[in-house]
């Protein structure tokens, strides 16, 4: 067996060091899609366009973290409107929406889809919560949830003061809203 050339050895050494750095990150800080914000720290601020269902139809909105001050916020990222997993997840949040409301919590979905797609999705699925458009992925990146061209299926629970209290990555859509609701209830004591 012959030794690898010096340049090849240095490349391999660099890859091993980079891999080691990733392996020793705290589990809560790293996920497919980037570096996650830290639990018990301020949630990354955001402001995005989107749609919000209203009694007379669907309205265009611009919403940011500060719009939910004083309320809990379930901020969930998902890949695409009208796909099977995303539809299942949205239906779960819709089914539990009144229970979240009873715990002073708003639900907001975020994906790279545009407002027209979101409006159709809300209408088709009877969704009564806002869907925001992160077409460039800037907010998804800030939440460690972006692999171009899609947001990843991650959920963040933010308290009324804007502090991140829980994170779910690699979410399984079936029953996910129940997991989030249970954690919200636990945190509210």
CA pair distance 70, 163, nearest whole angstrom:
11
State in Å, rounded, how far the first CA of the chain is from the last one.
Answer: 63
Buried b (16+ CB within 10 A) or exposed e, 175-187: ebbeebbebbeee
Determine contact, residues 92/174, Cβ cutoff 8 Å: yes
Determine contact, residues 74/93, Cβ cutoff 8 Å: yes
Per-domain boundaries in the chain: 34-188
CA pair distance 168, 154, nearest whole angstrom:
5
Q: Does domain 34-188 have CATH number 3.40.30.10?
A: yes
Q: Confidence band (pLDDT; 50, 70, 90) for 30?
A: low
Instruction: Indicate whether this model's pTM tops 0.85.
Output: no
User: Which residue reads 């750095």 in tokens?
Assistant: 21
User: Which residues have a catalytic role annotated?
Assistant: 86
> pLDDT for 57-79, tens place per residue?
999 999 999 999 999 999 999 99
> pLDDT for 97-112, tens place per residue?
999 999 999 999 999 9
- For residue 153, pLDDT over 70 is answered with yes
Report which of 154, 110, 152 is spatially closest to residue 132, judged by C-alpha positions. 110
């Amino acid at each position: 067996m012959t030794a690898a050339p010096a340049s090849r050895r240095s490349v391999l050494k660099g890859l091993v060091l980079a891999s080691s750095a990733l392996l020793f990150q705290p589990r809560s800080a790293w996920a497919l899609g980037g570096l996650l914000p830290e639990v018990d720290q301020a949630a990354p601020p955001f402001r995005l366009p989107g749609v919000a269902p209203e009694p007379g139809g669907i309205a265009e909105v611009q919403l940011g973290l500060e719009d939910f001050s004083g309320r809990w916020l379930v901020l969930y990222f998902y890949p695409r409107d009208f796909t099977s997993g995303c539809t299942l997840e949205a239906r779960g949040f819709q089914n539990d929406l009144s229970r979240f409301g009873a715990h002073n919590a708003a639900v907001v979905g975020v994906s790279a889809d545009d407002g027209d797609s979101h409006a159709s999705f809300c209408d088709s699925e009877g969704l009564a919560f806002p869907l925001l458009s992160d077409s460039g992925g800037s907010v998804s990146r800030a939440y460690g949830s972006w692999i171009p061209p899609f947001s990843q299926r991650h959920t963040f629970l933010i308290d009324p003061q804007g502090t991140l209290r829980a994170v779910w990555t690699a979410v399984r859509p079936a029953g996910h809203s129940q997991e989030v609701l249970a954690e919200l209830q636990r945190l509210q004591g």
